Amino acid sequence: MAAPNAQTTPLPSASAAQQALGLWNPAAGWYDAPQGEQLITLLASMSRSGTITSAVQVNPNARGVTLVLNVSSVGTGNLTMHLNGTVVAGADLTIAISVAITATGDYVLTVYPGANGGGANLVVSAPLPYKWYVSIVPSDGSTWGYALYALTYL
C-alpha cells in the first residue's frame, strides 16, 4: 500500500508502542511519523466575500491547533470562524465557533485537550481530529480582507 504523501511511512502492522502513542493509523494502514509543530497558511491575505472554506487538513498526530485570523479590512455585519472536523463515515462535526468579529485585528481560537482560558481569545478543550478545516462565515455579502493561519501542536 502506498502512503498518500511523503510524511507517512507504510508499515505492515503497528507495534504496541506505536498504537499506545497514537501514531498508527488503522483506517489508512500506515504509521504517521511525528511532525512537531507546523505553521500553516490556510488562507492567504486578500479581500473576500461570502463563506470561504480552507482546504481539508490531514492531521497525522497533532493534538491541537491555534488559529489566527488577521482581519485587515472590515465589511458590514460580522465574521465568525468555524473549526470543523471530518469524523467517521465522512460526517462533519463543528468543534468551535469564534465570537462575532466586527473590527480589524488578530483573532485567536485555540483547541487543545485540557486547555482552558478565556478573555478576548476563544479556548476550547477538545482534541483536533485527523481531518479538519476552517470556514470563515460572514453575516452578509460584504467584502472583508483577512488571512488565516494555523499552528498545530503535539
Fold of 38-153: Jelly Rolls (2.60.120)
pLDDT confidence of residue 121: 74
pLDDT confidence of residue 59: 82
Residue written as grid cell 488565516: 148
Q: Rg (Cα) of the chain, in Å, rounded? A: 17
Residue 114, C-alpha cell as written in the block: 485540557
Task: Report H helices in the chain.
Answer: 16-21
Average pLDDT over residues 95-102: 93
The whole-angstrom separation of Cα 46 and Cα 26 is 39
Say how far residue 96 (Cα) sits from the centre of its chain: 10
The whole-angstrom separation of Cα 94 and Cα 53 is 13
The H-or-E segment that residue 123 falls in is: strand 122-124
29-72: per-residue pLDDT in tens?
A: 666 565 667 889 999 999 999 999 999 998 877 889 999 999 99
Average pLDDT over residues 71-82: 96
115-149: per-residue pLDDT in tens?
A: 887 655 788 888 898 899 999 999 999 999 999 99
Give the pTM. Answer: 0.76
The H-or-E segment that residue 94 falls in is: strand 92-97
- What residue ranges do the domains of the chain occupy? 1-33, 38-153
Say how far residue 143 (Cα) sits from the centre of its chain: 23
Of the candidates 60, 42, 52, the one whose C-alpha atom is nearest the C-alpha of residue 79 is: 52
The whole-angstrom separation of Cα 87 and Cα 13 is 23
pLDDT above 50 (res 9): no
Q: How confident is the model at residue 95 (pLDDT cuts 50, 70, 90)?
A: very high
pLDDT confidence of residue 124: 86
Helix, strand, coil percentages, rounded to 5, for the chain: 5, 50, 45
